[in-house]
Structure 1
């Protein structure tokens, strides 16, 4: 999951690659769980990213992020495919979120 956020940040800089609605569950808890499953993730980083996602993303984009995190496939190809399916508005929203979360949560350091 952290890779998804950091990958999104890198993509914003490179413009190459662009990490609740409908069915139950707790989006924040799902995002934290996926993040904590990654080696090297801290509880503080994961909590910060999940909080930022819940606060900044609309319910549709939050669901997309949760579904991507739950899939476990965070390869560059999977992330590119996910980002390629977003509308321009969703892409802008996600990139704003990723940059904000990256600075606030200290990702990539």
Structure 2
């Protein structure tokens, strides 16, 4: 059950602070700025997002990272069931691969 809580938490974690530059860099910057993870973990998460999310969902995640936590809540509410499933899959993969949630 712990992994069920990781998906929304991971989006909030990534979007905690705005980033700049390209989509992947925006995700890394927001993750690092949050202060909960080191650069390597944040890069791992951004790589996992890029690999496991389709282009539209990856861009939505990057936009949330740039815009902050309020955008995160809006994005989570706007996801289709298919996007929610895709995001959950990414979040679980990132948690296992990158050590998030430990």
Question: TM-score normalized by structure 1?
Answer: 0.72
Counterpart of 1:46?
A: 42
Answering whether residue 82 of structure 2 is matched by residue 89 of structure 1, we say yes
**Counterpart Cα distance in 2 of 1:84 and 1:72:** 15
Higher-Rg structure is 1
Q: Which has the higher helix share?
A: 2
Q: Cα gap change, 1:35/1:9 in structure 2, threshold over 3 Å: closer, same or farther?
A: farther
Number of corresponding residues: 90
What is the alpha-carbon root mean square deviation over aligned residues? 2.2
8 Å contact 1:32–1:47 — kept in the other structure?
A: yes
Q: 2:32 aligns with which of 36, 53, 59?
A: 36
Q: How far is the alpha carbon of 1:81 from its aligned partner?
A: 3.0
**Counterpart Cα distance in 2 of 1:106 and 1:40:** 12
**Counterpart Cα distance in 2 of 1:11 and 1:41:** 15
Unaligned runs of 5+ in 2: 12-20
Question: TM-score normalized by structure 2?
Answer: 0.76
Q: 1:63 aligns with which of 59, 63, 73?
A: 59
Q: Cα gap change, 1:9/1:46 in structure 2, threshold over 3 Å: closer, same or farther?
A: farther
Unaligned runs of 5+ in 1: 1-7, 20-24
**Counterpart Cα distance in 1 of 2:67 and 2:38:** 20
